[in-house]
Structure 1
Amino acid sequence: MENAQLIGLSRQIALQRQMDVVANNIANINTTGFKSEQLLFEEYLMPVARDRDFPTLDQSLSYTDDWTTIHDMSGGALVETGNPLDVALQGDGFLAVETTAGERYTRSGSLAIDTSGTLVDLNGNPVLGNGGPIQFAAGETDIMIAEDGSVSSSAGQKGRLRLVEFADPQSTTREGSNLWAGTDPIEATETRVLQGSIEKSNVNGVGEMTEMIRVQRAYESAASLISKQDDQRRTAIQKLGNLNG
């Protein structure tokens, strides 16, 4: 009877984690360049009742294990903004930015120029070119960003955006503020930069709301099962107590 409750509890814990993932997806439905996540589950078998005197083999119990979280790296919808500092990435590449924790990566192409003339992301992190942060002098106009990431202005060439890819995008990790961390980045060769546009989140709002309802119902079903098992155990204890009396 305790085994059934433990199995139900493992399912509830996994569903709670899944609800966190779904809620985070929905919360970022309007976040530029956001990539949704999905939780993968696997069956965890645990043998019980080990004894050589038993006539049958050990019975295995099936628990739920939330194994890992995967990133949906598919592209989001492209929206034209007309802002020359907005860029959308078509392909698997990331923009490289400089943070206090080191080089990080983002798909959010809503860029700006700060008071020092540095090209930055929405969090104020300098956007890196192949030679370091890209700088503009006061009064520069006609900023152009080519498909290969080359940046120019009325003052001439300013550098080229550092675009990187990863051999295994699933090895990257989120760090908040729409930033990613990863090891061994390589130069992006199949990523095209589109100036004057941004990439929207790839979250499917209707699908995520449907998933949230499904997870909530599954959680309630597991809670109901645990409650019934608890009632059965209480009844069994009461009956055994009456027999002993």
Structure 2
Amino acid sequence: MQNALFVGVSSQVALARELDVIANNMANVSTTGFKARSARFEEYLMPTASADSFMGSDRRVSYVVDQGTPLDLSQGPIEPDGNPMHVAVRGDAFLVVRTPAGDRFTRNGAFEIDAKGTLVNSDGYTVQGDGGPITISQQETGLAIAPDGTVSTNLGVRGRIRLVTFKNPGALKNEGANVYSSTEQPRAAGLDGRVEPGALERSNVKPVLEMTRLMDVNRTYTTVSSIISRLDDLRGTAIRRLADVA
């Protein structure tokens, strides 16, 4: 009976984790370039006890173990908006932005020019070009971004937006503000990524699917809670009856 309670608790912990993942996905349905995550679990079989005096071998107890939240890197919908300073990333590439914690990676291509004339994204992080930050003076006009990331104005080429890829992009870690970090050294995207000017990549979260998952998790959590409650009541009844016999 005690093992059954532990199994139930392990299931509840896993379901609570999945609920957090779903809630975060739903909160970012409208976030530019957001990539959804899913919860991944696996069965853990507790080692059985053994001794020569046992009449038979113990049954293995199966627990639920959290195996992480893999990143869904599927392409989000591309929505043209006509803004020459916006770009949607196609392929497996990521934009590089400079944050207070260092270089980070994002799919948010909603760019603008800050008060210093530096190209930044909508969160205020400096967009990194192949040669560093890209600056545009107030006197320049006709800003345009080419599919290869080249930024130009009436005065010529001002830089080229840096695009990178990773050997294992699924290992990217969320750091808030729709940016990721990685312990892996990024590499130039090459043909694995390009930008589409005058458009933005929307979140790849599928709201209907997430709502379905949410209902399934809530239903399962309620069922497990009910089972744990009944087991606890059964244990209490057994203890009281044993006490009466004694």
Matched to 1:225, the amino acid is: I
Q: Secondary structure of 2:152's match?
A: strand
The yes-or-no answer on 1:187 pairing with 2:191 is no
The answer for the alignment partner of 1:60 in structure 2 is 60
**Which moved further from structure 2: 76-85 or 50-59?**
50-59
Identity of aligned residues (%): 46
Q: Distance in 2 between matches of 1:168 and 1:47?
A: 33
The answer for the alignment partner of 1:43 in structure 2 is 43
How far did 1:49 drift?
4.0
The answer for the alignment partner of 1:103 in structure 2 is 103
The answer for the alignment partner of 2:207 in structure 1 is 205
Q: Secondary structure of 1:117's match?
A: coil
Q: Distance in 1 between matches of 2:21 and 2:27?
A: 10
Q: Secondary structure of 1:226's match?
A: helix
Q: Distance in 1 between matches of 2:171 and 2:67?
A: 15
1:19-34 aligned within 5 A:
19-34=19-34
Matched to 1:160, the amino acid is: R
Q: Secondary structure of 2:8's match?
A: helix
1:1-245 aligned within 5 A:
1-182=1-182, 183-189=184-190, 190-244=192-246
How far did 1:58 drift?
3.1
Deviations for 1:217-239, whole angstroms, at most 9, x for unmatched residues? Answer: 00000000100101110111111
Q: Secondary structure of 1:52's match?
A: coil
Q: Distance in 1 between matches of 2:181 and 2:219?
A: 35
Q: Secondary structure of 1:37's match?
A: coil
Q: Distance in 2 between matches of 1:12 and 1:2?
A: 16
How far did 1:52 drift?
2.5
Contact 2:88/2:109, CA 8 A, preserved across alignment: yes
Q: Distance in 2 between matches of 1:15 and 1:130?
A: 43
Q: Secondary structure of 2:47's match?
A: strand
How far did 1:205 drift?
0.2
Q: Secondary structure of 2:224's match?
A: helix
Q: Secondary structure of 1:44's match?
A: strand
Q: Secondary structure of 1:24's match?
A: helix
Contact 1:49/1:59, CA 8 A, preserved across alignment: no
Q: Secondary structure of 1:238's match?
A: helix
Q: Distance in 2 between matches of 1:239 and 1:100?
A: 64
5+ residue gaps in structure 1?
A: none
How far did 1:139 drift?
2.4
Q: Secondary structure of 1:70's match?
A: coil
Matched to 2:22, the amino acid is: V
Deviations for 1:17-73, whole angstroms, at most 9, x for unmatched residues? Answer: 000000000000000000000111000111244333112223210000111110000
Aligned residues between the structures: 244
5+ residue gaps in structure 2?
A: none
Provide runs of 4+ in structure 1 moved above 4 Å: none
Contact 1:47/1:58, CA 8 A, preserved across alignment: no
Contact 1:119/1:126, CA 8 A, preserved across alignment: yes
Q: How does the TM-score come out when normalised to structure 2?
A: 0.97
Q: Distance in 2 between matches of 1:48 and 1:233?
A: 23
Q: Distance in 2 between matches of 1:155 and 1:98?
A: 25
Q: Secondary structure of 1:68's match?
A: coil
